Amino acid sequence: MLVAAADAAAGAGGFRQLRSELRQVSALPVGELRRRADDVAKELRELDTAVQQANWTVELVD
C-alpha cells in the first residue's frame, strides 16, 4: 500500500503530459513513503526468517 501511494504521488500512473500543461505537485512525501515501505518490507522479511527458524527448530508434538 505504501509503494502504491508513493508511485501515485510520484506520477508513475502511466499518463503523459505536455510541457505546456501545468506541473503536478505531490501532496504526499514520496521519499518518506518509500523509506517507510522499505522499513516495513525489512520487518516482514525478518519476521518471516524468525518463523522459518522456529519451524526448523521446534519439534512437533504427536
Which domain does 31 fall in, by range? 2-57
The total number of structural domains in the chain stands at: 1
Question: Full-prediction pTM beyond 0.85?
Answer: no
Rg (C-alpha) for the chain, rounded Å, is 20
37 within a domain of the structure (yes/no): yes
Q: At what angle do helices 2-10 and 30-57 cross, to 10 degrees?
A: 160
41 within a domain of the structure (yes/no): yes
Separation in Å, CA 16 to CA 9, 19, 45, 61 = 15, 10, 36, 60
Please report which confidence band the pLDDT of residue 61 belongs to, taking 50, 70 and 90 as the band edges.
confident
26 within a domain of the structure (yes/no): yes
Amino acid identity, residue 21?
E
Is residue 59 predicted with pLDDT exceeding 90?
no
**pLDDT tens digits for range 15-57:** 566 666 666 666 788 889 999 999 999 999 999 999 999 999 9
Cα separation, 1 vs 29, in Å, equals 14
Is residue 12 predicted with pLDDT exceeding 70?
no
